[in-house]
């Protein structure tokens, strides 16, 4: 029997991809928003393609704020953009 591959939608472009192809963005219980490359951090999460274009789309549509249930300040978006472009 084949193992099921978990699929997630990108908050930017809306494309469905396997979990491994996407980067998880998490709102921790303390309220901070950060990139979770391990995919295991505690908190509410959403997924983005690993490119700055999808982050720009998500920022324009406010889809990260909706998915994480919190208002995301501009400096956090700048930090996320930095982390995504460098690939940590």
Number of Cβ atoms within 10 Å of the Cβ of 63: 19
State the pLDDT at residue 51: 87
Entry pTM: 0.89
Decide if 22 contacts 48 (C-beta within 8 A). Answer: yes
Q: Looking at the domain assignment, is residue 28 inside a domain?
A: yes
Would residue 52 count as lying in a domain? yes
Predicted confidence band at 84 (pLDDT cuts at 50, 70, 90)?
A: confident
Within-domain flag for 2: no
Q: Express each pLDDT in 3-45 by its tens digit.
A: 899 999 999 999 999 999 999 999 999 999 999 989 999 999 9
Closest CA to 13 of 51, 69, 43, 67: 51
Considering the domain boundaries, does residue 13 fall inside one? yes
Q: Has residue 1 been placed in a domain?
A: no
Question: Which tokens sit at 44?
Answer: 């509410």
Domain total in the chain: 1
Question: What is the extent of the structural domain holding 69?
Answer: 7-86
**Helix, strand, coil distribution of the chain in percent, nearest 5:** 35, 25, 40
Backbone angles phi, psi at 48, to 5 degrees: -135, 150
Residue 36 falls within a domain, yes or no? yes
pLDDT tens for 60-79 read 999 999 999 999 989 999 99
- The CATH number that applies at residue 58 is 3.30.1230.10
């Amino acid at each position: 029997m084949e193992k099921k591959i978990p699929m997630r939608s990108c908050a930017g472009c809306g494309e469905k991809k396997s979990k491994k192809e996407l980067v998880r963005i998490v709102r921790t219980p303390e309220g901070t928003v950060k990139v979770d490359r391990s995919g295991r951090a505690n908190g509410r999460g959403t997924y983005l393609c690993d490119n700055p274009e999808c982050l720009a789309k998500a920022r324009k549509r406010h889809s990260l704020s909706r998915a994480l249930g919190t208002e995301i300040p501009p400096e956090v978006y700048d930090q996320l953009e930095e982390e995504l472009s460098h690939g940590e």
